[in-house]
Structure 1
Amino acid sequence: MKRALLLVGLVAVGALSAQPAWAASTTQVVQGQILRLVSVADWDAAGSLLPGEPVQWDVAVSADAPDPGTVTIGVSATGDAELVVDATLCMQPWAASGCPGGETVLRSDWSLPRDGAEVVLTRMADTETAHVRLSIALAAGDEGGRTDVLVHATGAGESATIGGGGGLATTGVSPVVYGIFAGGAVLLVGGMLLVATRRRRSRDVGDES
């Protein structure tokens, strides 16, 4: 049976059991001026998905907004592997036995769209913390492939996305700004090379004299 590579923020995620032992779990944090996203999963166990062997991915979303408002939480995906998702919400931290206050089912046996568009899962007051749990598996009969998945949060004029394993994790910055930073890095490296060349030439001239 072919396996599918599930990438979360361009990093492969592992197939966890329904009751995973979080021995190798990794935590990633995206902290903006207002929004905070905390992702927990066992990325090292990643690599492939099979029908009936889901990846469990927990993302906690909170905000520190100056004025009352709401935060929208969604998910997006792109790729060629068909994924089936169960999404549940807990307004308290997850316990080993589940959600202490009772979980809310957001999606069940959902075929995750792979067009890159964000699909809203839930909204909350910005004074709350949402603990979203995604259980992601390869659809039965799928030929496998690769799919990238991101969790989004938007509120109080800020947006953030998070993936896993040190992959794509951004918060509220225009792509133009990222381009400027990238250009600055190139200019900085070029400047360092120029300085090194000038120093080498000066040393060569000194040796000749």
Structure 2
Amino acid sequence: MTAEAPILVVEDEPKLAALLRDYLVNEGYEVKCLDNGLDVVPAVAVFNPRLILLDLMLPGRDGLEVCRELRTFSAVPVIMITARVEEIDRLLGLDLGADDYICKPFSPREVVARVKAILRRGALLEALPTPRLVIDEERYCAQFGGIALDLTPVELRLLKTLANTPGRVFSRDQLLDRLYFDHRVVTDRTVDSHIRNLRRKLEHACPGQDPIRSIYGVGYKLEL
């Protein structure tokens, strides 16, 4: 197997880092080793690693801080390695976005098995078709064709309403009931204005694609 990108081993114990490197190289992976937490983020930007084995206790910057920053810009899988066995550390590491957690002492074969499992899982996810439309209600954001949409709160509610039941035709009155919660007085033509703006933003994200269909005399539906 030829790795498309290296596995990054971040460990300040030279013998342990060399041991992990040797086992991973023996399995066909390219490996790069670091021994300082300050070097991790710049290295990720340069090498775009497939996976990171990240020690918790590092000089310069500890693994939890590094993992926290990584998750602000990268989804690279992270396996945290530590001598700490307290439950709070394990939970904190996973809450920060670590994909797995291995406590010292460990078997290098177990580490390799975990690496293979995570990379295999990632490959399966990549093989799945990517949804054209993704709506995150908690973060109040949406993507169409992988492109972020700059939507107003009303536009997001409108899109979410249509997307909840693709193919269903909503009348203007039905949409209005779901768009405004403060009982303001608006006309049903307000929906048309929001639909126009929403279509423009969808078209900007994916030129030539308009999933919103107008049903004359009835209303609108979403077809994905």
- TM-score normalised according to structure 2 size: 0.23
Greater percentage in helix: 2
Higher relative contact order (CA 8 A, sep 6+): 1
Greater percentage in strand: 1
- TM-score normalised according to structure 1 size: 0.24
Structure exhibiting the larger radius of gyration computed from Cα positions: 2
